[in-house]
Amino acid sequence: MAYISQELLIDRLNRNYEAFQYSLRGVSRPNLFKMAGRISAVTEAFEYLTKGHEWDDEDEIAYFLKFRDPLTIIADLWEDYRSDMACDLSGTIWDALNNSDDRILADYPRAKDWESLYDETV
């Protein structure tokens, strides 16, 4: 029984994703760039739900089958979660700024004039 329900859910997720992709047709390039976060969230949710998640709980499957577009539900929640993580980027910036031995950043190329820019701002 779970196998049939899982097939139905995966089929619905595929149709949801195809509809999302179709909705992007005709969107201008500048607007596609503005939608990058949304496109990423939907794509990541789709990939996870269809290839990464183990649909072994019949109740979980049945719950999402209640909805016409379960992909949008998960993508919306994922997008919200990721935007809440934006405050955590301050920690990443702190790590980069406080990398005293430069091991982490050693592989990143330096700007040719970085020393003169630094001297002018100090």
Summarize pLDDT for 7-18 with one digit per residue, the tens: 999 999 999 999
Range with the lowest mean pLDDT among 11-20, 23-32, 53-62, 89-98?
Answer: 89-98
**CA atoms of 106 and 116, how far apart (whole Å):** 19
Q: Phi/psi at 113 (nearest 5 deg)?
A: -105, 20
Q: What predicted TM-score, i.e. pTM, was given to this entire model?
A: 0.71
Torsion of CA 71, 77, 78, 79, to 10 degrees: 100
Residue 118: count of CB within 10 angstroms of its CB: 10
pLDDT digits (tens, 9 = 90+) for 55-82: 888 988 999 999 999 999 999 998 888 7
